[in-house]
Amino acid sequence: MAKIPTALHDHIASAYPANVIQIATVLPDGFAQITLRGSVVVLDDETFGMWERGRGSTNENLTDGSKVTLFYRNTALKEELPVAGVARFYGTAEIHNSGEVYDRVWNEMIELERERDPEKKGYAILIKCERAEDFRGNAL
């Protein structure tokens, strides 16, 4: 497992709306599906949490074991991310439709995202970070 730099934890949790994190999944035809997510949080040094409430192709492609890439850019973070303010995180998704992880992701994401799913019809996704890189592919 790779570490999510501690200096980025709070920045990632508060990325929405100025520096929204993008998630990439793989479509059945092999193309990347890239979309914005405002619900990404850091649960620990190796794990992201995300709330999935969408009903499109990203949702259709997220299953247990799906490979995903998270892309974060914040040009204000010159010390933490000196190369273009970019961090890429690669990992594997784990779906949670109920239970402790489901509740934790729900409770830790920003209020605006909870307001967009008032009936809690979505689900939680854990992403175990396997690689963390800067813009040039160097380990963070």
53-92: burial string, b at 16+ Cβ within 10 Å, e else: beeeebeebbeeebebbbebbbeebeebbeeebbbbbbbe
For 64-84, write each residue's pLDDT tens digit. Answer: 999 999 999 999 999 999 999
Rounded Cα–Cα distance for residues 10 and 63 (Å): 27
What is the C-alpha R_g of the chain? 14
Q: Does residue 57 carry a pLDDT above 80?
A: no
Which pTM does this prediction carry?
Answer: 0.93
Asked if residues 50 and 24 have their Cβ atoms less than 8 Å apart, the reply is no
pLDDT at 61: 79
Q: Does residue 53 carry a pLDDT above 90?
A: no
pLDDT at 97: 95
pLDDT at 56: 72
Q: Which amino acid is at 127?
A: I
Q: Does residue 51 carry a pLDDT above 90?
A: yes
Q: Does residue 62 carry a pLDDT above 90?
A: no
